[in-house]
Amino acid sequence: MLVVENLSVSYKAIKALVNLSCRVEKGEIVALIGANGAGKTTTLNTISGIFPAAAGSVVFEDEDITRVPPHEIVKRGICQVPEGRRVFAKMSVLENLEMGAYIRSDRKGIAEEMDRIFHLFPRLAERRKQLAKTLSGGEQQMLAMGRALMSQPRLLLLDEPSMGLAPMLVEKIFEIIQEINKAGTTIMLVEQNAHMALSIAHRAYVLETGEVVLQGPAKELAENPEVRKAYLGE
């Protein structure tokens, strides 16, 4: 579904990604793990068209999208849930979700999708008229995910969904990620909590200073002594 080949990204003199290659098959959850500054978020932002690639290519469903602008990438079927949630604070839950459907014009389909989001996140249904800024961190994360799903992405990019959340909420968010995947959405997940990421992913890539240093089935990586020592605190 997604093939990233020899991707390089620089911020002025700093090389953020160096010849990074990875792939995502349809129906998978693929995790990117690594320390802060490893290039995980940069990878997602480059796939989304937010950061320009200095070299390499991003191919989605056999189409080269390396130079396609972000709003067009959303139309192609890729949507990103950004790190830090970034909901529209002064808009209601309902308005935030409607913003997620800005590329769509099928009113009936939008209404059906909204119902699906409220079924997936009952807490949002209860707070549909509240301003986003009044929600808890966990509720804002649910809203950011719901907003992205309103565009009906075939590939959902999730950047640090557990950041700043209480352990109980982290488990709930990861359960919902699995539900979204089982319902047919392919997922690429960037996550600081390597243990949780590897527990739900099918495959994973370990990044260090902008390069892939390890890759393979998530269960195998979770048993890898280097990974356990560096990222699982064992």
Amino acid 234: pLDDT: 55
Over range 69-93, report the average pLDDT: 93
Amino acid 233: pLDDT: 66
The 10 Å Cβ neighbour count of residue 149 is 24
* Helix pair 167-182, 107-120: axis angle to 10 deg: 140
Amino acid 14: pLDDT: 87
The position carrying tokens 């997922």 is 187
For residues 84 and 177, the model is more confident at 177
126-177 pLDDT per residue, tens: 999 999 999 988 899 999 999 999 999 999 999 999 988 888 888 989 999 9
Q: Where are the domains of the chain?
A: 2-87+153-231
Reply yes or no on whether the pLDDT at 230 is more than 90. no
Q: Which helix (H) or strand (E) holds 99?
A: helix 93-100
pLDDT band at 36 (very low <50, low <70, confident <90, very high): confident
Token pair for residue 129? Answer: 């008229």
* Helix pair 107-120, 137-149: axis angle to 10 deg: 150
Token pair for residue 207? Answer: 């990044």
Strand 63-64 vs strand 14-24: parallel, antiparallel, or unpaired? unpaired
Reply yes or no on whether the pLDDT at 188 is more than 70. yes
Residues 15-35, buried b or exposed e (16+ Cβ, 10 A)? ebbbebebebeeebbbbbbbe
Q: State the chain's mean pLDDT as an integer.
A: 93
User: What fold is seen in the domain 2-87+153-231?
Assistant: Rossmann fold (3.40.50)
Which residues in the chain belong to E strands, given as ranges?
2-11, 14-24, 29-33, 55-60, 63-64, 78-81, 155-159, 186-190, 203-208, 211-217
Q: Is the pTM of this model over 0.85?
A: yes
The position carrying tokens 């048993």 is 223
